[in-house]
């Protein structure tokens, strides 16, 4: 069986492979490849090579680096279907969803073509007599990105684009569950003209991550994944003197006001709650209808829509709404949490338990679940389920609804459905959550804005992509320079006059 290996110094290498993990096809439940897990020594060697390669790359002018980004855009578009197919095969998401994953990453690479503009410094002419002052943004050196399974194209590209365009070398440690697309992207970077060693992809688990966190050459760490690991990585990276931005889990609430268009809200909830099998950090996992009447009508509209969802493998084409979850362990965890919901008194309005697909009995499929009458102290409300399970918490008033979202420990995304501008404006201003949608269920900011959650959904003070990324991947140097201009005696500079 193929060992996917690593991408080191511009080529695929098998690695020492003393330890390996299995890469599954979640639709069939079969192991389709093996993955070498890098040892600490292998990671250290990859970092040392990256540091060598970074010297020339950091000195390359920004426009040339931007041309690599431009070439990469063309190559990703050329290989879009190939990338999406590999992504669906390892992740399980539908083909259109996989293309969306690549597309949202691609948009950040497009944005990075403008890196020379973003990297321009500041200049003060004549800050004193004969004195000018200027600031420049310089690359950090070697940086690292540790990414989750759920967006194996988008999140690596969100890190790679700005980090490389700023002149850094990058160590990318993708999720061990779906590593093929990051390896393919590294290959495309080489084809686009990125010098060997500037992007090193090391596959691995905790041992590889800890090696990155402890290596003194690594200047900054970007992490996206679950909250406990985000917190661990943030703590260890910053304790070791590194810059860090670590994004964690989510429990995104959508508030449905009595004046909302309930058909629109129900459609939005089905797309945002069950798309990609609920394995999106911006998925809506909690619906909060305001008032009993709104709640009754909403549930009435949701039930047939949720029951009609088609679950299947990506190979079934456009006829499928969502695919399997990523692993057998993820499926078991979702099923366990559903059971706690029932045991703790929530009402299962759509019961997806026992779902099975003919011909795919060993696949990691989970049927759609809809809970009503969920209470804030239940496990299904407090924990991130990361599966096709939508919980409905009925609120008596707008204040109660906004209070629920504000008191939850996660603060990634949220949305409100209303026709009232005052309510929408109040919600957007008061809510303590990083990304807000008004009649938009998954408010993912575009590449030229920044993406990041608050509270336990994000540690660190700079967001992903947009202007923040150029700040995160550079440091500022400020120069004060004095030149003896205009002080001449007999056609020669009089340096003494400067004293
Ligand atoms: P995860 O935390 O299990 O893994 C993420 C990365 O951390 C992987 O590369 C993994 O190899 C590594 N890792 C896992 N355990 C580790 C350990 N003990 N020590 C060091 N490294 C470790 O997350 P996941 O299951 O791959 O992804 C799903 C999670 O990511 C969800 O919680 C989701 O909400 C979150 N997510 C958040 C965002 C965001 O922007 N906030 C975006 C996407 C996903």
Q: What is the pLDDT of residues 322-369, one digit of tens each?
A: 999 999 999 999 999 999 999 999 999 999 999 999 999 999 999 999
- CATH code of the domain covering residue 384: 3.40.309.10
Domain that holds residue 426: 252-438
Nearest CA to ligand 1 atom 10: 175
Q: Based on the fold, state whether residues 388 and 415 are members of the same structural domain.
A: yes
Q: Do 409 and 470 belong to one domain?
A: no
Residue nearest atom 8 of ligand 1, based on CA coordinates? 175
498 falls within a domain: no
Please give all residues whose beta carbon lies within 6 A of any atom in ligand 1, as ranges. 146-151, 173, 175-176, 205-206, 209, 224-226, 229, 247-250, 281, 384, 386, 412, 453, 457
Domain presence at residue 239: yes
**Is 243 in the same domain as 256?**
no
Please report the pLDDT score of residue 142 as a whole number. Answer: 99
Residue 491: exposed, middle, or buried by beta-carbon count in 10 A (0-12, 13-18, 19+)?
A: exposed
- Ligand 1 nearest-atom number relative to CA 205: 11
Model pLDDT for residues 400-457, shown as the tens digit of each residue: 999 999 999 999 999 999 999 999 999 999 999 999 999 999 999 999 999 999 999 9
pLDDT score recorded for residue 491:
54
Claim to verify: residue 90 and residue 180 sit in the same structural domain: yes
**Residues 233 and 134 reside in one and the same domain:** yes
Q: Which residues are catalytic?
A: 281
- What residue ranges of the chain have pLDDT lower than 50? 499
CATH number, domain at 125?
A: 3.40.605.10
Residue 329 lies in a domain: yes
Domain finish residue from 388, 408, 438: 438
Query: What's the confidence (pLDDT) of residue 33?
Result: 97
Domain assignment of residue 99, yes or no = yes
pLDDT score recorded for residue 492: 57
| Residue 446 domain-assigned (yes or no) | no
**Whether residues 233 and 157 fall in one domain:** yes
Pocket of ligand 1, candidates 225, 279, 364, 459: which has the most ligand atoms within 8 Å of its Cβ, to mutate?
Answer: 225
Let me know whether 418 and 467 are in one domain: no
């Amino acid at each position: 069986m193929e060992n996917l290996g690593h991408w080191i110094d511009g080529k695929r290498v098998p690695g020492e492979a003393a330890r390996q993990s299995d890469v599954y096809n979640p639709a069939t439940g079969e192991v389709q490849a093996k993955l070498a897990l890098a040892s600490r020594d292998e990671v250290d060697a990859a970092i040392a090579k990256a540091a060598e390669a970074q010297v020339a790359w950091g000195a390359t002018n920004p426009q040339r680096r931007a041309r690599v980004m431009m070439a990469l855009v063309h190559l990703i578009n050329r290989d879009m279907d190939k990338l999406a197919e590999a992504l669906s095969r390892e992740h399980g998401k539908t083909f259109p969803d996989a293309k969306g994953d690549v597309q949202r990453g691609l948009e950040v690479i497009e944005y990075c073509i403008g890196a020379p503009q973003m990297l321009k410094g500041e200049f003060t002419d004549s800050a004193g007599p004969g004195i000018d002052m200027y600031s420049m943004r310089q690359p950090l050196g070697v940086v690292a990105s540790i990414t989750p399974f759920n967006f194996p194209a988008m999140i690596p590209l969100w890190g790679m684009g700005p980090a490389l365009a700023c002149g850094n070398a990058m160590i990318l440690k993708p999720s061990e569950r779906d590593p093929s697309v990051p390896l393919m992207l590294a290959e495309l970077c080489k084809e686009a003209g990125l010098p060997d060693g500037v992007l090193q992809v090391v596959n691995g688990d905790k041992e590889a991550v800890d090696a990155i966190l402890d290596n003194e050459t690594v200047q900054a760490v970007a992490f996206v994944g679950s909250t406990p690991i985000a917190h661990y990585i943030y703590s260890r990276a910053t304790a070791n003197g590194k810059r860090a931005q670590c994004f964690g889990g989510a429990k995104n609430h959508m508030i449905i006001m009595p004046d909302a268009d309930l058909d629109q809200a129900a459609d939005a909830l089905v797309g945002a709650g069950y798309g990609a099998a609920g394995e999106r950090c911006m998925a809506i996992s909690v619906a909060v209808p305001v008032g009993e009447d709104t709640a009754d009508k909403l549930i009435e509209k949701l039930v047939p829509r949720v029951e009609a969802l088609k679950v299947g493998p990506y190979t079934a084409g456009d006829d499928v709404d969502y695919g399997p979850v990523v692993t057998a362990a993820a499926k078991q965890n979702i099923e366990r949490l559903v059971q706690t919901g029932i045991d703790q008194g929530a009402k299962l309005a759509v019961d997806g338990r026992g779902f099975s697909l003919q011909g795919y009995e060993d696949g990691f499929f989970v049927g759609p679940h809809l809970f009503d009458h969920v209470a804030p102290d239940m496990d299904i409300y407090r924990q991130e389920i990361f599966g096709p399970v939508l919980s409905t918490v009925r609120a008596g008033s707008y204040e109660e609804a906004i209070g629920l979202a504000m008191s939850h420990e996660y603060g990634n995304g949220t949305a409100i459905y209303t026709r009232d501008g005052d309510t929408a404006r109040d919600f957007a201003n008061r809510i303590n959550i990083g990304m807000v949608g008004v009649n938009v269920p998954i408010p993912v900011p575009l590449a030229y804005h920044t993406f990041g959650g608050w509270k336990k959904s994000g540690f660190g003070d700079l967001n992903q992509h947009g202007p923040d990324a150029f700040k995160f991947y550079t440091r500022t140097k400020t120069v004060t320079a004095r030149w003896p201009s205009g002080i001449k005696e007999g056609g020669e500079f009089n340096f003494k006059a400067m004293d």
